[in-house]
A and B are shown apart, each in its own frame.
Chain A
Amino acid sequence: MNTKKNIDRLFQERLKNLEATPKKKVWKEIESKITKKKRKIYPFWWVSSGIAASLIIGFSLFPFGNSIDNFKKNYPEEIITKTPATTIESFVKESFETKIVRKSEKEVTSISNKKVIKNQRNNRLATRVNSANKEVKETSNNGAETIEKQFFEEEKIPAVIKVVLEKKKENIIIITKNTANSKDDKGSNKIDIERFIEDAKEEKTIESSNKKSWSIAPVFALLNSDSFTNTSSINSRLSGSTKGKNSISYGVQIAYQINKKWSIQSGLQLQEMNFKNNQIVVISSSTNTSNITFNSDETFAFENNSDASFDNLLPASNAISLNGELTQNYSYYEIPLEIKYYLIGQTKFRTHLIGGFSTLFLKENKIRLSTPSLIEDGKATNLNSINFSGNLGLDLNYTLNTNWSVHINPMFKAQLNTFNNNSNGFSPFNIGVYTGIHYQF
């Protein structure tokens, strides 16, 4: 068939959809040339988490850094060393060393050893001390006091040692030697110590070490977005077809333990949200009925494919596609502020309840309309740049050792201020499983 045709149009039409794939060699060369630049991408995390970490360290060292120093300072003056080593004592010494060194600082070990030595050799003492060892094992650096208690129960001990404990904040233990032998003194001291041991046991179940109240963790989460309502934020005609998709969130989390029950956590995370409308009818239209502006300045009307009323519409309309797909993708910088409450658990495995809110700063805002015949990119016009979300979740924490722990954390986050207006009642939320490795210090 011969047609007269504008040469421009010929080339326009034929070359418009020119698709060509270059040889693999080209990609390889490109790859090799950009690898140097690629390396710059990695430091981003190191840099940002490094800044966060140094900030926190700086913060924590100032007001909280002196507890260990006090501990060391106060001790040496108080310790009185007496001597001779017998077979029993050396036995006791050894058993102490093996059991205590594992868990607590060396100071404690030496202190308790000296205490043992100080008291006169006694066969019954040895058995007592042995039973005390079990308690020492549990209460780690509070071992010395446990032994003291045993000593008080021994009537024959000549020296009375008074233990004063300042609870919690700093484990400053001042031990003074009292040479008086009066029974009244012993009695009152006994009560003090018993009370202390109760406290210590209670504490032990919650925190093995009070000094480590800060923690930092890189976190990663899988999110699933959804809405409380069935509507679509993009177009009122699309209600019922909006589906949430999986997305991810990642960032850094920092936490500070206020006391044994409560801790507070914050951080910086990147959060993505993803929604999709499948099988929608795309109609070329001159008026914009949706909350989208496309980059091409074209406007479309949308209808729900499953809508029964659509059948009547079809003949009159200039539908582009009956099976279009609208993908909405937006992401936030998230700054959460959450409070954790200790629920149940042992030393190793602990469960917390988490509640709080996040401030969300809009980062990306994309909408893609794709039909078999065209792809249009655009963005939503009704997204607020600052958004908030209410957060609720459960934190399951497993302690690996004194510095490290892992957590898994199912969270529910309801967004409060996503859209500025006419979002057709769309109120998004997401359910995510967060996980991360904590470093305590």
Chain B
Amino acid sequence: MLFGISLKYSRNYQDAEDTLQDSFLIIFDKIKQYNNKGSFEGWLKRIIINTALQKYRKKNHLQLIKEVPDTEEVVEVDFEDTHLDIGFLLKLVQELPDKYRLVFNLYVLDSYSHKEISKMLNISEGTSKSNLSRARKKLKEKLEKHQQREQNA
């Protein structure tokens, strides 16, 4: 489960391994700070996420982010359930640029609010929202491409 989280938040398999390793070192280091508040799994999850965030937060520090108007559009796609395997979806997520991927993961997969995300990533809420919608669009494009290819094949 933990490696799964690590995979979702990372750019690729290697990064995920690194993140997992770093996380476990932190976990063993800070195990005393875990004081039975909340579930142990939740605590582990937080550490993995934070470790992953730290890793990519450092790197995209200097990137310019254009803000786009706040549109909470619902991106919908046609897809055939059966043909999308989990590995492919994971790959799509991993291929997203760091900033999009993190926001998408936090908001959609781990249901943090934009407010929380803005604090965690040190960005504004607007940026968080725009990154999310971009992430959605990218994912949609890729999914559609994939489907076309499938149909052509």
Given known pairs A23-B17, A34-B25, A377-B40, the reply for A14 and B143 (CB within 8 Å) is: no
**A26, B21: Cβ atoms closer than 8 Å:** yes
- One digit per residue, 1 when the CB lies within 8 angstroms of any chain A CB and 0 when it does not, for chain B 91-121 equals 0010000000000100011000000000000
**Is there an interface contact between A5 and B79, defined as CB atoms closer than 8 Å?**
yes
**Among A5, A7, A34, A379, which residue has its beta carbon within 8 angstroms of that of B139?**
A7
Q: Do B108 and A1 touch across chains, with their CB atoms under 8 A apart?
A: no
| Interface positions of B from 55 to 113, Cβ below 8 Å from A | 74-81, 84, 86, 89-90, 93, 104, 108-109
Q: Is the CB of A30 within 8 A of B21?
A: yes
Tell me if B11 is interfacial: C-beta within 8 Å of chain A. no
Question: Within the complex, what minimum Cβ distance (angstroms) separates A115 from chain B?
Answer: 65
Asked if B33 is at the interface of the complex by the 8 Å CB criterion, the answer is: no
Q: Which of B42, B76, B89 is in CB contact (< 8 Å) with A11?
A: B89
Assembly CA distance A261 to B89 (angstroms) = 76
- Min CB distance, A328 to chain B, in Å? 15
Q: How far is the CA of A237 from the CA of B1 in the complex (A)?
A: 34
B90 to chain A, nearest CB (A): 7
Provide the residues of chain B in CB contact with A3, threshold 8 Å: 78-79, 81
Q: How far is the CA of A133 from the CA of B119 in the complex (A)?
A: 88
Complex: how many Å from CA A10 to CA B76? 10
**Distance of A377 Cα from B84 Cα, bound (Å):** 32
A195 at the interface (CB under 8 A from B): no
Q: Pick the contact of B4 from A4, A7, A18 — CB < 8 Å?
A: A18
Distance between Cα atoms of A322 and B40 in the complex (Å) = 26
In the bound complex, residues from chain B placing their C-beta under 8 Å from that of A19 are 1, 4
Which of A6, A21, A365, A366 is B75 in contact with, Cβ under 8 Å?
Answer: A6
Asked if A312 is at the interface (CB within 8 A of a chain B CB), the reply is no
Mask of A1-40 contacts with B, CB within 8 angstroms, 1/0: 1111111101110111011111100100110011001000
Q: Is A194 an interface residue (CB 8 A)?
A: no
Inter-subunit contact B77/A15 (CB<8 Å): no
Number of A positions contacting B (CB below 8 A) = 33
Report whether B108 and A21 are in contact in the complex, using a CB–CB cutoff of 8 Å.
no
Q: Given A5-B76, A7-B136, A22-B3, A14 and B86 touching (CB < 8 A)?
A: yes
Task: Check if B36 sits within 8 Å of A14, measured CB to CB.
Answer: no
Output the nearest chain B residue to A16 by Cβ-Cβ distance.
B109
* B25–A7 touching, CB < 8 Å: no
CA distance A23 to B81 in the complex (A): 29
Give the residues in chain B near A33, CB-CB below 8 Å.
21, 25
Q: Nearest chain B CB to A125's CB is how many angstroms away?
A: 73
A14 to B82, CA, bound (A): 11
Query: Residue among A7, A16, A22 with the most chain B CB within 10 A?
Result: A7
Contact A1 B80 (CB under 8 A): yes
CB within 8 Å for A14 and B89 given contacts A1-B80, A6-B75, A20-B4: yes
Number of A-B pairs, beta carbon distance below 8 Å: 94
Shortest CB-to-CB span from B62 to chain A, Å, is 28
Answer whether residue B20 sits at the interface, using C-beta atoms and an 8 A cutoff: yes
A8-B74 Cα distance, complex, nearest whole Å: 9
- Check A364 for interface membership: any CB of B closer than 8 A: yes
Q: How far is the CA of A70 from the CA of B112 in the complex (A)?
A: 77
A29→B139 CA distance, assembly (Å): 34
Per-position binary interface string of chain A over residues 365-377, scored 1 when its CB falls under 8 Å from any chain B CB and 0 otherwise: 1100000000001
Q: Is B150 an interface residue (CB 8 A)?
A: no
| A287 lies within 8 A of chain B by Cβ | no
Q: Which residues of A contact B16 (CB under 8 A)?
A: 22
Asked if B41 contacts A11 (CB within 8 A), the reply is: no
Is B140 close to A, CB under 8 A? yes
Q: A2-B78, A2-B80, A18-B7 are in contact. Are A8 and B108 (CB under 8 A)?
A: yes
Q: Are A15 and B20 in contact (CB under 8 A)?
A: no
Chain A residues whose C-beta falls within 8 Å of the C-beta of B139 in the assembled complex: 7, 11
Closest to B139 in A: A7
> Is A15 a contact partner of B93 (Cβ separation < 8 A)?
yes
Q: Does A66 contact B (CB under 8 A)?
A: no
Nearest Cβ on chain A to B94's Cβ, whole angstroms: 11
Q: Which residue of A lies closest to B76 (CB)?
A: A4
Give the distance in Å from the alpha carbon of A21 to the alpha carbon of B120 in the complex. 27
Contact B109 A15 (CB under 8 A): yes
Indicate if A98 sits at the interface (CB-CB under 8 A).
no
Contact across chains for B108 and A12 when beta carbons are under 8 A apart: yes
What chain A residues lie within 8 Å of B74 (beta carbons)? 6
Instruction: Tell me the bound Cα distance from A7 to B138 in angstroms.
Output: 11
* CB pair B86 A15 closer than 8 Å: yes
Select from chain A the residue with minimum beta-carbon distance to B86.
A14
Q: Is the CB of B24 within 8 A of A10?
A: no
Cα distance A43–B3 in the bound complex, in angstroms: 32
Residue on A with the closest CB to B140? A7
Binding site for B on A (CB under 8 A): 1-8, 10-12, 14-16, 18-23, 26, 29-30, 33-34, 37, 295-296, 364-366, 377, 379
Lowest 7 CB-CB distances: which A-B pairs, in order? Answer: A18-B4, A377-B39, A295-B39, A30-B24, A20-B3, A7-B75, A22-B3
- Beyond the given pairs A4-B76, A18-B7, A30-B20, 20 more chain A to chain B contacts, judged by CB atoms under 8 angstroms and listed by A's residue number, are A3-B78, A3-B79, A3-B81, A7-B75, A7-B140, A7-B143, A8-B75, A11-B89, A11-B139, A14-B84, A19-B1, A19-B4, A20-B4, A22-B16, A22-B20, A26-B20, A37-B29, A295-B38, A366-B36, A377-B41
Q: Can you list 12 residue pairs at the A/B interface with Cβ under 8 Å?
A: A2-B78, A2-B79, A4-B77, A6-B75, A7-B76, A10-B89, A11-B108, A14-B86, A18-B1, A18-B90, A23-B17, A295-B39
